[in-house]
Amino acid sequence: MRYDLDDLRLFLGIVAEGSITAGARRMHLSLPSASARVRSLEHHAGVALLIRGRRGVQPTPAGTTLARHAREVLDRTARLESAVASYTRSPTAPLTLLGGGSAMHRLVPQALVSFLRAHPDADVTVSESRTPQTVRMLADGEADLGVVLDDEARGCGLEMEPLGDDSLVVIGQPGGILTGRTAVTYSEVAEHPLVGLDADSSLRRWIEKHLGPHAPAVRYRTSVAGLNVLVALAAAGVGLAVVPRRAIDPSQRLDVCELQDPWARRHHLLAWGVKDRTASTATAALAEHLRQAALSEKSAGAEERP
């Protein structure tokens, strides 16, 4: 049988999200349309690919096999497109990818490794940039792709698609003051000594922006440049820390609490520059590697959680 690449992307999204509705949202499809595509896949395969339940869906053994091979097919397709594109674009014109500090922690590096290995003729210039600046550069044609936050990029007029969750949580030493708690407010967190990122970091500015003029007084015991160091300090009991959940290694021993404030619920979007997205298959290939990195990250986190 012949497989449609968009159907494979949809199926991978559904498997990663554990929901046909969420998978449809990733592909900007209606639920009836997505359901029809899945039924068509199952019809042509001659076997059920998903187990449907009240709380979502999970792949059957056949569905797991399809998902594994679909990832390989999409990766090889991206390699093919980039190889052909290398004959039409100047090797001296690298792609430009922008993203905030959270995206630069694991998402962007993982996508870069796979993309650059698969496309030896393509180069990428990567810069850390807060969402407002990223949006401006994309709109001015100064960048090809950007990983932005939904709240700050909403209504900017750029073409965007959902990429992954970037919600914030509070972490602390195992057996410490967060033990037994499942959720706290930032006001409660601010009553205790904190460790944080540098004052100019994207995350620190995000928090301060949403707290506004009535922000509680906070004692930062120290400020550091990277999320890895910040998580390590919190795990060692130096102070509590507010970090994106996706920055936490699931195997690391930490107490983790949801942050109840509405501004803590964030999502990454993949934003395209104003250039015609069909003009560069290399850009499309890099976008696909970012999607796969986000899916891989979500799947790994889901496997680690009980």
Is residue 157 one of the residues assigned to a domain? yes
Domain count, the chain: 3
User: Does residue 159 lie in a domain region?
Assistant: yes
CA distance 165 to 95: 25
Q: What is the CATH number of the domain that holds 77?
A: 1.10.10.10
pLDDT at 87: 58
In a domain, 196, yes or no: yes
In this prediction, residue 121 carries a pLDDT of 83
146 shares its domain with 277: yes
Whether 61 and 118 share a structural domain: no
> What are the distances in angstroms from CA 121 to CA 143, 166, 207?
19, 32, 40
In a domain, 249, yes or no: yes
| Domain annotation covers residue 303 | no
Which structural domain, as residue segments, surrounds residue 232? 168-264
Strand partners, 60: none
pLDDT at position 305: 45
In whole angstroms, give the CA distance from residue 74 to residue 56: 25
In this structure, the answer to whether residues 75 and 149 fall within a common structural domain is no
Q: Is 183 within a domain?
A: yes
Q: CA-to-CA distance for 249 and 40, rounded, in angstroms?
A: 38
Indicate the residue among 28, 56, 85 that finishes a domain: 85
SS3 257: strand
Residues 247 and 169: beta-carbon distance below 8 Å: no
Per-residue model confidence as pLDDT tens digits over 78-134:
777 766 665 555 555 789 999 988 899 889 999 999 999 988 888 999 999 989 999
Instruction: Supply the pLDDT for residue 64.
Output: 92
- Decide if 113 contacts 293 (C-beta within 8 A): no
Instruction: Kindly state the DSSP code that residue 177 receives in the 8-state scheme.
Output: T
CATH of the domain at 127: 3.40.190.10
pLDDT tens, the chain, 306 aa long:
678 888 889 999 899 889 999 888 888 889 999 999 999 998 888 899 999 988 899 999 999 999 999 888 887 887 777 666 655 555 557 899 999 888 998 899 999 999 999 888 889 999 999 899 999 999 988 999 999 999 888 888 888 999 989 999 999 999 999 999 999 999 999 999 999 999 888 888 888 888 877 778 889 999 998 899 999 999 999 999 999 998 888 888 999 999 999 999 999 999 999 865 545 788 889 999 999 999 887 665 544 444
| Within a domain: 298 | no
Residues 148 and 285 grouped into a single domain = yes
DSSP 8-state code for residue 263: G
Three-class SS of residue 158? Answer: coil
Residue 301 located in a structural domain: no
pLDDT of res. 303: 46
Question: What is the reported pTM?
Answer: 0.67
Residue that is last in its domain, among 60, 85, 110: 85
- Please write the tens of the pLDDT for every residue from 36-64: 999 999 888 889 999 998 889 999 999 99
154/194 Cα distance (integer angstroms): 31
- 256 and 178 both lie in a single domain: yes
Mark 39-59 as b/e (b = at least 16 C-beta within 10 Å). eebbeeeeeebbeeeeeebeb
